[in-house]
């Protein structure tokens, strides 16, 4: 039996991974601070994610910012899956110190312990993110492959949202982002994920630990937080639809994301835990399919069998990317991973689950107000 510590293991991906690993015979410890933004004010009542694992794992209520909590959690573990993080991209642009303290500081504290004290850890999985790439990869007719930087306020203000590249002529074609693509995050969250990944990939080999980084695309599925207004349009739109409120689609609705179903993410991560071929590698995890925001809205309305007004508002958030979808050649070749759930299947499962949940008031307006005040929402 192998012992695995999952930091942030009460969260969406961590709790699903924990349950799957337990079913496979692993012994799981979770270190999680039960952040109110994710788990509500009273996790014992308000967090189905926490409740799903609480009696099945060795649960430590603590923070990755505390070396004492980390030491207690790391003792006796064979493998660490490091998920604990602040996870809101927009929010990271005005809670900069908090995001760097938890995400970068927490990873640094963990590595300090592993580099300087006795332990049994042989492998670390770090949750990196597609956000480290920033905008996607494009093929320019005259320049070859290019990596456009984030779009400017001046151009988006005119309602022109498609990506441009200086001196590129003819069409600029979106292509899949592979692991060798330029890393240029457009948010503080992305910067912290890049930093976490680089620290783990750089330090671990020098201290005899095999590192594996997974750059997850947009993960979704039953159990994801419906109350956190800072992440995930599937949750935000679902809550609006169920509350019969208008959906404000930003830009022109043609922006795309690669939505990957939770079971596929868990599957990929377990391959990384179990296969030596993963050691020392970074992998994209996604579906390889770019889905527009308007398709998301249509699929949700269809699955809830409801109609609410949909306003394609031309609003935009500074720092948002236009497109990015994963190239899966590497993870397919080295780990044999192939996503098995289509967006249409996954969103049906998600909507069926949402329908079993209590309808809550949404805090979305408040999050938009916050971004407006900071000049990040236009
Ligand atoms: N969900 C996605 O689409 C996605 C995409 C790319 C990367 N990731 C990364 O995967 C990991 C897991 O994401 P998730 O969707 O499960 O997020 P989540 O927000 O559901 O879970 C994060 C967990 O970390 C805990 N946490 C927060 N701060 C902590 C601290 N200081 N100490 C201990 N625990 C703390 C929270 O309470 C929560 O349970 C994160 O590192 C995230 O950045 C997620």
Ligand 1: does its nearest atom lie under 6 Å from the Cβ of 219?
yes
Ligand 1: does its nearest atom lie under 6 Å from the Cβ of 102?
yes
CATH number of the domain residue 128 falls in: 3.40.50.720
Mean pLDDT of 319-337: 95
Is position 157 within any domain? yes
What six digits make up the tokens of 161? 């949202």
Active-site option among 138, 189, 230, 261 = 189
pLDDT of residue 83: 98
| Angstrom distance (rounded) from CA 181 to CA 192 | 18
Mean pLDDT of 231-247: 90
220 labelled catalytic: no
Ligand 1: does its nearest atom lie under 6 Å from the Cβ of 17?
no
233-242 helix and 293-304 helix, angle to the nearest 10 degrees: 40
Is position 2 within any domain? no
The CA 290 to ligand 1 mean position distance, Å, reads: 23
pLDDT of residue 226: 84
Q: Residue 199 is part of which domain span? A: 85-373
Decide: 111 and 205 in contact? Cβ < 8 Å: no
Ligand 1: does its nearest atom lie under 6 Å from the Cβ of 32?
yes
Is position 97 within any domain? yes
The SS3 of residue 219 is strand
| Angstrom distance (rounded) from CA 190 to CA 167 | 27
State pLDDT tens for residues 248-304.
Answer: 999 999 999 999 999 999 999 999 999 999 999 999 999 999 999 999 999 999 999
Is position 359 within any domain? yes
What six digits make up the tokens of 115? 């580099």
The CA 29 to ligand 1 mean position distance, Å, reads: 16
pLDDT of residue 85: 98
Is position 24 within any domain? no
pLDDT of residue 199: 98
Mutate which of 5, 9, 12 for ligand 1? The one with the most ligand atoms within 8 Å of its CB, which is 12
pLDDT of residue 370: 66
pLDDT of residue 319: 78
The CB-side HSE value for 78 (13 A sphere, CA atoms) comes to 9
Ligand 1 atom closest to 13 (CA):
16
Is position 178 within any domain? yes
Mean pLDDT of 343-356: 96
Is position 208 within any domain? yes
Is position 5 within any domain? no
How many distinct structural domains can be found in the chain?
1
Ligand 1: does its nearest atom lie under 6 Å from the Cβ of 11?
yes
């Amino acid at each position: 039996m192998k012992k695995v510590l999952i930091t942030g293991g009460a969260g969406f991906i961590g709790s699903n991974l924990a349950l799957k690993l337990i079913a496979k015979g692993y012994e799981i410890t979770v270190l999680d601070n039960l952040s109110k933004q994710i788990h509500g004010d009273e996790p014992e009542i308000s967090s189905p994610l926490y409740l799903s694992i609480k009696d099945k794992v060795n649960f430590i209520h603590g923070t990755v910012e505390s070396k004492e909590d980390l030491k207690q959690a790391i003792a006796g573990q064979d493998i660490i899956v490091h998920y604990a993080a602040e996870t809101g991209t927009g929010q990271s642009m005005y809670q900069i110190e908090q995001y760097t303290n938890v995400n970068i500081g927490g990873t640094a504290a963990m590595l300090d312990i592993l580099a300087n004290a006795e332990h049994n850890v042989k492998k670390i999985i770090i949750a990196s993110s597609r956000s480290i790439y920033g905008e996607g990869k494009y093929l320019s007719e005259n320049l070859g492959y290019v990596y456009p930087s984030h779009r400017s306020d001046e151009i988006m203000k005119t309602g022109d949202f498609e990506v441009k590249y200086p001196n590129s002529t003819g069409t600029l074609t979106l292509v899949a982002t592979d692991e060798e693509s330029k890393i240029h995050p457009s948010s503080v969250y992305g910067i912290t994920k890049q930093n976490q990944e680089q620290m783990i990939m750089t330090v671990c080999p020098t201290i005899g630990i095999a590192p594996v980084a997974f750059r997850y695309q947009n993960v979704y599925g039953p159990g994801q937080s419906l109350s956190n207004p800072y992440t995930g349009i599937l949750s935000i739109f679902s809550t609006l639809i169920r509350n019969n409120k208008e959906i404000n689609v930003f830009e022109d609705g043609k922006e795309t994301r690669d939505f990957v179903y939770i079971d596929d993410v868990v599957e990929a991560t377990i391959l990384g835990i179990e296969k030596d071929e993963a050691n020392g590698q970074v992998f994209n995890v996604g579906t390889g399919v770019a889905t527009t925001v308007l398709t998301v809205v249509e699929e949700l309305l269809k699955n809830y069998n409801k109609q609410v007004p949909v306003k394609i508002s031309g609003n935009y958030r500074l720092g948002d990317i236009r497109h990015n979808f994963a190239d899966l050649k590497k993870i397919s070749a080295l780990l044999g991973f192939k996503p098995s759930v289509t967006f249409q299947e996954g969103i049906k499962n998600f909507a069926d689950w949402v329908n079993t949940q209590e309808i809550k008031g949404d805090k979305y307006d408040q999050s938009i107000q916050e971004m407006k005040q900071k000049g990040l929402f236009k």
